[in-house]
């Protein structure tokens, strides 16, 4: 039984078949990449796994149990966190607060305890802040903890989103184009970070257009084109796969 099993997943928008009968597994502790030209259905696939889109057909099994069709927050509680291709931060909150929201699953205080904060609740609050600050420093955000998230530059916003996702201590992390908009130097740092995350025991499923990054860090790659999976395997096989080459040669992203 694989850690995450994507089984015959299909999703269409009106007549457009965005994801068509896609199946693949993600093994625990590995970095798996999903690549493919623009509009191939990669983000749609993520949205289906994370519960952000209503499912049509197929199934998603996580740690042996189906999560397909569950509401987003329940999928999160099962141990899946994500980042977005178009950054979705809580703009009016500070960097620290954003990351603390990531600690939501790791803290307990409900409405009553929040209104009447006893010492236990205050301790939990302090711990949340400390842990969040720890994840912020991992992403190099220590100097902007109290800055408004919406006012940061693009690269830092990506970092906040990343820290927020990590702060929930997920077992599976979904990264949708984490290198988009980063410079070469930042991209290299990102590669190190993703490896570090894998070594912490977090399984990573990522969508990425930066081929050198993908080939560098992935243990396995699945290739989508027009919603269909056309290849799957380790990076060296994918690089040689004629079908993949032809898809990418007809596209600017090669």
Partner 1 sequence: MKISSHLPVALLGAIVVLFQVLMSATGTDYLLIQLTMSAYYALVVLGLCLLMGYAGQISMGHAAFFALGGYTAAVLSTNNLTQLFSAGVLEWLVQKGLIILSTDAYGAAAYRAPAWLSLGTAVLITVAVSFAIGIPVLRLKGHYLAMATLGFGTILYRIFLGTRIFGEADGISAVRPCEILPGLFVGGDPSQRVFNYYFAWILLIGALVLLLNLVRSRVGRALRAIHGSEEAAGAMGIDTARYKLNIFVISAVFAALGGYFMTHFNGGIGPSEAGIMKSVRYVAIVAVGGMANLWGCLLMGVVLNFLSLRGYFGSYDDAVFGALLIIIMALAPEGIFRKESISRIKELTRRLSWPFWK
For ligand ATP, the binding residues (CB under 6 A) are 13, 16, 18, 36, 38-44, 85
- What minimum distance in Å lies between the beta carbon of 34 and Mg ion? 10
How many Cβ atoms from other residues are within 10 Å of residue 138's Cβ?
17
In terms of CB distance, is 102 or 178 closer to ligand ATP? Answer: 178
DSSP 92: T
Q: To which H or E segment does residue 82 belong?
A: strand 80-82
- Could you write out the DSSP letters of every residue in 108-152? ---HHHHHS--HHHHHHHHHHHHHHHHHHHHTT-GGGTTSBGGGS
- What minimum distance in Å lies between the beta carbon of 17 and ligand ATP? 9
- Taking CB within 5 to 8 Å according to partner kind, which of partner 1, ligand ATP, Mg ion, none is near residue 16? ligand ATP
- What minimum distance in Å lies between the beta carbon of 117 and partner 1? 6
Which listed residue (93, 228, 230, 245) binds partner 1 by CB under 8 A? 93
Binding pattern for the stretch 159-198 against partner 1, x by CB under 8 A and - elsewhere = -----x---x------------------------------
Contacts of 161 (CB under 8 A, 6+ apart): 83, 84, 87, 88, 89
In terms of CB distance, is 81 or 218 closer to partner 1? Answer: 81
Query: How many CA within 13 A on the CB side of residue 203?
Result: 18
Asked if 104 is part of the footprint of partner 1 (rule: CB under 8 A), the reply reads yes
Q: What is the phi/psi pair of residue 10, to 5°?
A: -135, 145
Strand partners for 31: 204
Within positions 24 to 63, which residues make up the interface with Mg ion, using CB under 5 A? 43
- What minimum distance in Å lies between the beta carbon of 81 and Mg ion? 18
Burial class of residue 104, CB neighbours in 10 A (0-12, 13-18, 19+): middle
- What minimum distance in Å lies between the beta carbon of 45 and Mg ion? 9
Is the torsion defined by CA of 43, 99, 178, 75 positive or negative?
Answer: negative
Stretch touching partner 1 by CB under 8 A, among 37-45, 61-69, 76-84, 192-200: 76-84
Binding site for partner 1 (CB under 8 A): 50-52, 71-73, 76-77, 81-82, 84, 88-93, 97, 100-105, 107, 109-111, 113-117, 121-122, 124-125, 128, 164, 168
Binding site for Mg ion (CB under 5 A): 43, 85
């Amino acid at each position: 039984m694989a850690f995450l099993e994507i089984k015959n997943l299909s999703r269409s928008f009106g007549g457009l078949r965005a994801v068509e009968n896609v199946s693949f597994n993600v093994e625990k502790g590995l970095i798996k990449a999903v690549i493919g030209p623009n509009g191939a259905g990669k983000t749609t696939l993520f949205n289906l796994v994370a519960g952000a889109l209503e499912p049509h057909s197929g199934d998603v099994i996580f740690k042996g149990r189906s999560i397909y069709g569950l509401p987003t927050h329940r999928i999160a509680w099962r141990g899946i966190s994500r980042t977005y291709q178009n950054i979705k931060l809580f703009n009016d909150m500070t960097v620290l607060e954003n990351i603390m929201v990531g600690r939501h699953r790791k803290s307990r205080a409900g409405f009553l305890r929040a209104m009447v904060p006893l010492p236990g609740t205050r301790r939990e609050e302090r711990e949340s802040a400390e842990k969040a600050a720890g994840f912020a420093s991992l992403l190099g955000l220590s100097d902007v903890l109290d800055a408004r998230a919406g006012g940061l530059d693009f690269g830092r916003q990506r970092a906040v989103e990343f820290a927020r996702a990590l702060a929930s201590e997920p077992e599976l992390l979904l990264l949708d184009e984490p290198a988009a908009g980063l410079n070469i130097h930042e991209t290299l740092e990102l590669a190190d970070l993703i490896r570090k995350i894998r070594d912490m025991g977090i399984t990573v499923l990522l969508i990425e257009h930066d081929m050198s990054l993908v080939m560098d860090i992935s243990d396995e790659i699945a290739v989508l084109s027009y919603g269909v999976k056309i290849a799957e395997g380790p990076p060296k096989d994918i690089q040689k796969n004629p079908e993949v080459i032809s898809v990418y040669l007809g596209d600017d992203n090669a």
